[in-house]
């Protein structure tokens, strides 16, 4: 009977140290400890019912009168009391480190992608420069061939002109000779009847 009375007194004293619910609507976090014990009440004398790992996101529901313990909600609406000294407003260093590592990996991936893009652009630039150089060489070769062809064409045109002039001269010479021959032949023919007539007179 005395034990029941003492237990009731202890319970009433413990309850007197509790404030009304204080849900500020903001999340808090368990500080960087390995585990934090969750009690059924706002002192260490209460039974331990669970543990909360470091970096867990929690919601503060109540605080004890001396602010040494806080009632929290964690892990899908579980509730219990933990020591306030293990609660911090900002994320734990462990979570911050995870986020920093994730951001670093993201930045490293982005950097690698940009380096790959730069490498691809450099390779493409080299390929285009090589193609341009080959095109320039091809253009130069074609230009030389064109100049040679034009030179050959000019030579052929000069040769054809000379051949035409020579042919004209040959025709003129032949025409002149033919005319001269015709004149001589006409003169001879003109002289032949006169000789016959003289011969008949002498007879």
- Strand pairing report for 35-39 and 27-30: unpaired
Spell out the domain ranges in the chain: 18-91, 93-137
- DSSP label at 31? -
pLDDT in tens, 103-133: 899 999 999 999 989 989 988 899 999 999 9
Q: Is 77 helix (H, G, I), strand (E, B) or coil?
A: coil
- What is the pTM for the complete model shown? 0.40
18-91 folds as SH3 type barrels. (2.30.30)
Task: Give the pLDDT of residue 180.
Answer: 85
Terminal C-alpha separation, the chain = 207
Closest CA to 94 of 53, 142, 61, 153: 53
pLDDT in tens, 10-30: 434 444 444 444 444 567 777
């Amino acid at each position: 009977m005395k034990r029941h009375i003492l237990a009731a007194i202890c319970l009433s004293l413990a309850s007197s140290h509790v404030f009304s619910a204080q849900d500020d609507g903001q999340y808090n976090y368990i500080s960087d400890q390995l585990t934090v014990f969750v009690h059924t009440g706002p002192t260490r004398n209460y039974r331990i019912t669970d543990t909360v790992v470091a970096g867990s996101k929690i919601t503060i529901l109540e605080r004890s009168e001396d602010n040494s313990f806080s009632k929290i909600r964690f892990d899908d609406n579980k509730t219990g009391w933990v020591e306030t000294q293990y609660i911090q407003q900002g994320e734990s260093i462990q979570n911050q480190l995870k986020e920093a590592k994730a951001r670093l990996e993201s930045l490293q991936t982005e950097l690698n992608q940009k380096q790959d893009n730069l490498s691809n652009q450099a390779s493409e630039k080299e390929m285009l420069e090589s193609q341009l150089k080959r095109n320039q060489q091809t253009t130069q070769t074609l230009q030389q061939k064109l100049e040679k062809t034009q030179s050959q064409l000019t030579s052929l045109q000069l040769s054809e002109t000379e051949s035409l002039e020579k042919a004209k001269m040959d025709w003129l010479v032949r025409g002149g000779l033919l005319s001269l021959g015709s004149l001589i032949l006409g003169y001879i023919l003109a002289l032949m009847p006169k000789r016959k007539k003289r011969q008949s007179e002498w007879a």
